[in-house]
Structure 1
Amino acid sequence: MATLVIGGGVVGLSIAYGLLKQGREVIVIDGSDTDARASRGNFGLVWIQGKGLEAPPYASWSRQSAGLWKQFSDELKESTNIDVAFSQIGGVEYFTEIGALEQEAADLSGLREKLGGDYPFEMLDHAQLKKLVPEIGLKVAGGIFSPMDGHVNPLLLLRALTEAVKRLGGRLQTGHSVTSIEGADHSYSALLADGTRIDGDALVLAAGLGSAEHGEDLGFKAPVRAQQGQVLITEKLPFFLKYPSGRIRQVNEGGVQIGASKAETDSEATDLSTLQELARYAVDVFPLLEHVQLVRSWAALRVMSPDGLPIYQRSAKYAGAHFVTCHSGITLAAAHAGLLPEWIDGRNTAPDLTFFSESRFDV
């Protein structure tokens, strides 16, 4: 029998890829192109600095995944001949206010202490940062550099994972909405909108915002919500931006991606005021962007838990059912492929993910 993975985004496909490498039979069931798809609208960062300020286990888990990313990307290229444009030479966060820069550095120092000192970063003033990134403008007070950070082309990653899953013998049911899931211990049936029934002896619910629809029936709280982010893309430019940041990065094709807005809405419509704010910040940091052309913009929905952290939960109702969700599917993809299958199989070598269970929402 097969493991059913409900959700064919980066999270679901990373898990499916890892399970297939363990020798499991896997069927991935994915929805239609009209569904909200975080994997097709995200920023493409493999990002560590700033994550887990109040939750050191999340910082450690994220960093563990980032450490696996080089091997993960190499495996995908060898398997599929698709280069996902992974780069991990470090990242910079830019600040236009000295107070915000100093506060962030203090927060990161506190996290570093909680992690036993193993959390590299450096606060740079304007002059120091300009040596590293000569293109910054006068409004930049300084920045924080961390060698832990990197980025990737998320669309190429999605394509590579899809191809890798197929090559390992995984079955993809794409364009199919799951209307209901019938569960029992090690026995699951997913009923699709066209009447098809797909059976398996294990199940991973990784459907992003769609997980809320089926979570309760499988014994999960699945407390996911949408958070909107908007993005701007410039015309292709000569490469100048060596280091990505959480708000600005130059993608492998040459365009500059500008983003990181946050709005508590499930709307996927852009609005002019937010886009103006994004553009203003980008020009403050890099004045050379003032006269470049913007070629497109979009809004996409992040998948958020109540506290913003991932959820990894085994069902208390049915043996063999698992729920996985996070808003850092790119950063955590390497861990989801390389480490999570052992947790799903219940092996004693599995990572301890107790911190990320739904029980934290009971208090």
Structure 2
Amino acid sequence: MSDRFDASTRIAESATTSLPDLGAMEADYAIIGGSIVGLSIAWGLLKRGRRVLVLDGDDGSFRASRGNFGLVWVQGKGLKQPAYARWTQKSAAAWADFSAELGESTGYNLALQQAGGYDFYFDEESLEQRVAEFETLKKELGGDYPFEVLRHNELKREEPNIGPRVAGAILHHQDGHLNPLRLLKSLADDVRRMGGTVKCGVPVKRISKRDLFEIEAEDGTIYAAPKFVLSAGLGAMDLGPQLGFSAPIRPQRGQVLITEKLPKMMNRPSGIIRQVDEGSVQIGDSKEEVGLDDRVTLETASAIAARAVAVYPDLAKAKLVRSWGALRIMSPDGFPIYQESSTTPGAFLVTCHSGITLAAAHARYLPAWLDGSDQAPNLEVFSEQRFAIS
């Protein structure tokens, strides 16, 4: 762990020509962001023998990891960018082993199920339009895009509780879901078990680089490391430009409803309804451009509830016990950003809105990219350069 310096000590020592130690040799990487993305990266770096310090914000921070839908989702990803579809598939394929290893190490059952997932449609025209898009993507992926179209009667055999208004669904066989809170807890526990340091309640206000990256917390504490990963979600909007990143991200609100625990009523999840392992039904989702506002609104909650009832009419009798709003981290095109700073080498920006789906890739493959390994995935298509105006 880093030595601690009060403000007066830092000012005095900054007048000298030598850099204070700051505990640099105790961490190879400092990671800002202790949620799913940051902890997945930390986990993977520790597996590569790196020493890791994770700094997480306080309870006032926006936290998509605690408000997401818990999906490991492939379908619909990368319709306009096949590289994103491949990256998503690569992560989904790694999830079974990743989940098993976390469970063996920590004792947590992540409740991972990857038996496919649905995209429901209320009219044939919309369904056919999406099928055409999927067929195009399937060709671009060399046929590796396993989905099938279920018309109402076929869907009814798979999901007997489906409502009469549902025209059909696309069943994608690489999709699944899990318990995201157990994932968050297991990652934090396993990172600590492997020797990583996770410090909570450490909002960061400033990052600079001399010989090392110096990270100044709001309480004046300084942390340092030779390499640095910014995976702070929406916090990157303010912190990214300090290291030369444009960090062109924005919040997008999604609202979620939770029912009481119910008898099993669905066999597979969808992007708008899923029954969790404990029996409750989770209902979403909304896509609202409202800035940094994560409140629940009656209008949106009513709309997503009505849609859920149209899909599964029995939900009309269920009691709602919880609701919340959470903010996605969105880039202009919706794809992840993986970028090493052009002005401050050794600083990396990692941000995405699919932290659950991509957790396995961030743990298994992204650390090789951070280390500059020959085995690193080619992530150039996800750099910030795609947003540059020529």
Q: What's the TM-score, normalizing by structure 1? A: 0.98
Q: Provide the C-alpha distance between the structure 2 equivalents of 1:153 and 1:183, rounded to a whole number of angstroms.
A: 38
Please state if 1:271 is matched with 2:297: yes
1:184 is displaced (CA, Å) by: 3.7
Structure 1, residues 106-155: CA drift from partner, whole Å, max 9, x if none?
11111101111110100111011111111101000000111100001111
Alignment of 1:249-260 (within 5 A): 249-260=274-285
| CA RMSD after TM alignment | 0.8
Q: Provide the C-alpha distance between the structure 2 equivalents of 1:172 and 1:118, rounded to a whole number of angstroms.
A: 39
Tell me which residue corresponds to 2:264.
239
1:246 is displaced (CA, Å) by: 0.5
Residues 39 and 191 of structure 2 are in contact (CA less than 8 Å); yes or no, is this contact kept in structure 1?
A: yes
Q: Provide the C-alpha distance between the structure 2 equivalents of 1:184 and 1:129, rounded to a whole number of angstroms.
A: 60
AA at the equivalent of 2:236 = S
Q: Provide the C-alpha distance between the structure 2 equivalents of 1:84 and 1:105, rounded to a whole number of angstroms.
A: 32
Tell me which of 122, 126, 131 is aligned to 1:96.
122
Q: Provide the C-alpha distance between the structure 1 equivalents of 2:263 and 2:294, rounded to a whole number of angstroms.
A: 31
Alignment of 1:237-316 (within 5 A): 237-265=262-290, 266-316=292-342
Tell me which residue corresponds to 2:15.
none
Please state if 1:196 is matched with 2:217: no
Q: Provide the C-alpha distance between the structure 2 equivalents of 1:92 and 1:269, rounded to a whole number of angstroms.
A: 28
**Identity fraction in percent:** 54
Structure 1, residues 160-207: CA drift from partner, whole Å, max 9, x if none?
00001000100011001111111146x111111111111101000000
Tell me which residue corresponds to 2:166.
140
Residues 184 and 318 of structure 1 are in contact (CA less than 8 Å); yes or no, is this contact kept in structure 2?
A: no
Q: What's the TM-score, normalizing by structure 2? A: 0.92
Q: How many residues align?
A: 362
Residues 184 and 319 of structure 1 are in contact (CA less than 8 Å); yes or no, is this contact kept in structure 2?
A: no
Gaps of 5+ in 2: 1-24
Q: Provide the C-alpha distance between the structure 2 equivalents of 1:183 and 1:249, rounded to a whole number of angstroms.
A: 45
Q: Provide the C-alpha distance between the structure 2 equivalents of 1:23 and 1:160, rounded to a whole number of angstroms.
A: 19
Tell me which of 36, 49, 52 is aligned to 1:10.
36
1:239 is displaced (CA, Å) by: 1.4
1:320 is displaced (CA, Å) by: 1.2
Q: Which of these two proteins has the greater Rg computed from alpha carbons?
A: 2
Q: Provide the C-alpha distance between the structure 2 equivalents of 1:217 and 1:92, rounded to a whole number of angstroms.
A: 42
Gaps of 5+ in 1: none
Tell me which residue corresponds to 1:115.
141
AA at the equivalent of 1:136 = I
Residues 303 and 326 of structure 1 are in contact (CA less than 8 Å); yes or no, is this contact kept in structure 2?
A: yes
Structure 1, residues 77-127: CA drift from partner, whole Å, max 9, x if none?
111111111110111111111111111111111110111111010011101
Tell me which residue corresponds to 2:230.
205
Q: Provide the C-alpha distance between the structure 1 equivalents of 2:116 and 2:294, rounded to a whole number of angstroms.
A: 31
1:240 is displaced (CA, Å) by: 2.1
Tell me which of 81, 106, 129 is aligned to 1:80.
106
Tell me which residue corresponds to 1:347.
373
Q: Provide the C-alpha distance between the structure 1 equivalents of 2:374 and 2:300, rounded to a whole number of angstroms.
A: 48
Q: Provide the C-alpha distance between the structure 2 equivalents of 1:184 and 1:78, rounded to a whole number of angstroms.
A: 41
AA at the equivalent of 1:69 = W
Tell me which residue corresponds to 2:62.
36
Structure 1, residues 200-226: CA drift from partner, whole Å, max 9, x if none?
010000000001111111121111110
1:288 is displaced (CA, Å) by: 0.8
| Counterpart secondary structure, 1:124 | strand
Tell me which residue corresponds to 2:185.
159
Please state if 1:68 is matched with 2:94: yes
1:71 is displaced (CA, Å) by: 0.6
Q: Provide the C-alpha distance between the structure 2 equivalents of 1:214 and 1:129, rounded to a whole number of angstroms.
A: 47
| Counterpart secondary structure, 2:84 | helix
